[in-house]
């Protein structure tokens, strides 16, 4: 794939200020504002400018034969970086949570999973720390469906128990999938599919094994039952390796870096519009409760 299609990754924004002169700005002025690159005094100096923090949340799980286990974390990071760069300095980006709830992929090598309770506790500790420094608008950008239930509970508990006015989970994968459906067609959508393969080709092409991109075999009984349940708003928990021998569920044969760049650009544009709204909306601060409800 063409290097021109490659999007900025975190490394391009990190480490720019290792040899600062006194004439240089206190923090790098290009790219997203990454909390992990700041010193504590720099943080103090710019804290009042930061109105909202994005937390990328991914997973460490098998993504079929062609994609790395870090696929979801890479896509969550790039969505946050692209959006953060557009909205700097009002929006800053926290380090990604590289682990997720991936019990359904534990049948295949490479997967590391958190329990739902662990992810909830992790998010509450991170949001609680940010809130103690005055950051009261936090958006969780999640690219792994297995995290959605835990993140909904985590956000509710951050609001209800920690009193943080705005903690909103956004399912970043659905933004990618919407864009990919238009660019690559609906068959490309799915775990380790053309949507995710294209995204990784645009972010870190050297991590994709192009000769292994394929249209995966999926148990037809499972596929039909899942579609019927989805159409009714339902879901169907299942161990992935039992219904898809390769571990993937989307057709990745037509993935490309060009498609990935277009998909990520559209998704980041949609995300930017949502975040811009969240920057202006006025929300009530909830009363703190300690009665267990």
Residues that bind Zn ion (CB under 5 A): 71-72
Cis status of the peptide bond prior to 136, with omega within 30 of 0: no
Name the minimum Å distance from CB 171 to Zn ion: 12
Contacts of 85 (CB under 8 A, 6+ apart): 8, 30, 31, 32
Name the minimum Å distance from CB 254 to Zn ion: 18
Of 71 and 261, nearer to Zn ion (C-beta) is 71
User: CA 160, CA 157: separation in Å to the nearest integer?
Assistant: 5
Strand pairing partners for 139?
Answer: 54, 168
CB atoms within 10 A of CB 55: 24
In the bound state, the residue with its beta carbon closest to Zn ion is 72
Residue 250 DSSP label: S
Radius of gyration of the chain (CA): 20
Residue 127, both tokens: 């949001």
Of 94 and 176, nearer to Zn ion (C-beta) is 176
Pairing of strands 52-57, 137-142: parallel
Name the minimum Å distance from CB 191 to Zn ion: 6
Using CB atoms within 10 Å of the CB of residue 291, give its burial: 0 to 12 exposed, 13 to 18 middle, 19+ buried. Answer: exposed
Name the minimum Å distance from CB 112 to Zn ion: 14
Of 236 and 283, nearer to Zn ion (C-beta) is 236
Of 38 and 197, nearer to Zn ion (C-beta) is 197
Name the minimum Å distance from CB 61 to Zn ion: 7
Of 68 and 257, nearer to Zn ion (C-beta) is 68
């Amino acid at each position: 794939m063409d290097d021109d299609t490659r999007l900025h990754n975190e490394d391009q924004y990190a480490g720019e200020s290792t040899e600062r002169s006194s004439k240089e700005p206190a923090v790098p002025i290009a790219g997203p504002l990454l909390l992990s690159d700041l010193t504590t005094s720099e943080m103090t100096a710019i804290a009042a400018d930061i109105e909202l923090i994005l937390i990328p949340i991914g997973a460490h799980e098998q993504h079929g034969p062609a994609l790395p286990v870090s696929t979801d974390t890479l896509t969550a990071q790039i969505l946050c970086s692209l959006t953060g760069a557009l909205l700097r300095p009002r929006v800053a980006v926290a380090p990604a949570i590289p682990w997720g709830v991936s019990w359904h992929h534990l049948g295949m090598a490479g997967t590391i999973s958190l329990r739902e309770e662990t992810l909830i506790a992790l998010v509450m500790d991170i949001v609680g720390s940010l809130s103690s420094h005055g950051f009261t608008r936090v958006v969780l950008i999640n690219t792994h469906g297995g995290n959605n239930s835990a993140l909904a509970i985590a956000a509710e508990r951050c609001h209800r128990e920690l009193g943080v006015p705005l903690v909103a989970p956004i399912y970043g994968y659905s933004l990618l999938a919407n864009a990919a459906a238009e660019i690559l067609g609906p068959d490309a959508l799915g775990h380790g599919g053309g949507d995710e393969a294209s995204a990784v080709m645009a972010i870190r092409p050297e991590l994709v094994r192009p000769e292994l991109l394929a249209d995966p075999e999926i148990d037809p009984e499972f596929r039909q039952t899942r579609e019927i349940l989805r159409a009714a708003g339902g879901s169907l928990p299942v161990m992935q390796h039992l219904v898809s021998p390769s571990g993937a569920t989307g057709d990745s044969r037509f993935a490309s870096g060009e498609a990935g760049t277009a998909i990520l650009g559209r998704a980041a544009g949609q995300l930017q519009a949502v975040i811009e709204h969240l920057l202006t909306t006025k929300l009530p601060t909830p009363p703190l409760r300690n009665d267990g409800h």
